[in-house]
Amino acid sequence: MTRRKLSFAISLATLAALFTGCHNTHADPRKNSVAKTQDSAEGLKLIRFVKNPDPAPALKINDLDGKPISLEEDKGKIVLLNFWATWCGPCRAEIPDLVELQRKYKNQLAIIALATDEDEPAEVKKFAQKAGINYRIGMATDPLRMEYGGIPALPTSFIIDAQGRVVQKHIGLNDPSIYELEVRALLGLPFDGKVDYFEDTGQVFLKNAERATELPGVNLSKLTPAQKTIALRRFNSESCTCGCKMTLAQCRVNDTGCGVSKEMTAKIVSELSHIPAKTPAPDAQN
C-alpha cells in the first residue's frame, strides 16, 4: 500500500501532526530539541547553528521539468532543503510561508522541495501549480533520503549556508519566522535575534552520533571514565534490534522513545558498572 493510500487511514491524526510532523519512520519529531528556538535572556529569539557544519550531500536529481537540481549552482545563496509530501498536513500548512519567504528573498535564498513517498511526479506538479509554489521541486530518492539521515518525519528541512554546509535541521511544522531569522543571520542582515552554536552529535546528521559523550535516556554516571569510553564505543558499534538499522547511539538520538535501544544501552551500562576497577599492583618489595 502506498503512503498516499495510507494517508487517508491516518487522517484523524492530521490536526495533532500539524504541530509535530507526519511520521516517515519510527522517530518522534517531538523529541528533536536542537531545532527548537527559544527566547534568550535578553528577550531575543535564540537561533542555533552547528559550530563545525558538514557539507550538504549532493542532490543529483532533476526537478519536475526534467532540469538538473544542483546545490553547486546555488553556492553563495542560502538553501532551504525541504523534504515534504502532498499528503502531509503539516507540509501543506507551511507552503504559503515558504512561498512568501522565497518571494521576499528571491535573489538570496533558494528553496528546494523534495517530494517524498509520492507515486507520480505529474500529480506532484499538478498539486504544486494549484498551491502556487514558486520554488523548485524534485522527487526524493531512497538513496538521497539516506544521505540526509533517513528523514524520520515530514516535513524535515535542512538549512544550508552560502558555503554549502548544513547548519541546522528542523523536523515537523516550524515557526516560519524562525526560517527568516536564520536566513537573515546567515546573509549577515540585521535580525531581531541571537545566534548560539552547538556541536552536532547526531541531531543534524546521525553519523555524528559517534561524537556524543552523552546520549538521551542513558545514565553513564555510575561508570568510571574508562568504562564510559568502552560503553560509548559499544553504543557506536552495536546495532539496535528494533528494526531501525542504526547503531544504538544513532537510535537513541533519532528516537528517544525507542524502548529497545534504551534497554540495550542500559544492559551495557549495567554490565560495565559491575566490572571491578583495576587496582595498581603493589610496589615490588626489595
Active site residues: 88, 91
- For the record, the C-alpha cell of 205 comes out as 546528521
Question: Look-up: residue for cell 516550524?
Answer: 174
Q: Where are the beta strands (DSSP E) in 132-258?
A: 136-139, 153-154, 156-160, 166-171, 193-198
C-alpha to C-alpha distance for 111 and 101, rounded to whole angstroms: 9
C-alpha to C-alpha distance for 285 and 18, rounded to whole angstroms: 74
The CA-atom distances, in angstroms, between 209 and each of 37, 174, 205 are 21, 24, 8
Say how many C-beta atoms besides its own lie within 10 A of residue 102's C-beta. Answer: 17
Label each residue of 172-200 as H, E or C.
Answer: CCCCHHHHHHHHHHHHCCCCCEEEEEECC
Q: Are strands 156-160 and 166-171 parallel, antiparallel or unpaired?
A: antiparallel
124: closest CA among 1, 23, 4, 21? Answer: 4
Number of helices followed by number of strands (H, E) in the chain: 9, 12
C-alpha to C-alpha distance for 166 and 51, rounded to whole angstroms: 10
- What burial class does residue 239 get, using C-beta atoms within 10 Å of its C-beta: 0-12 exposed, 13-18 middle, 19+ buried? middle
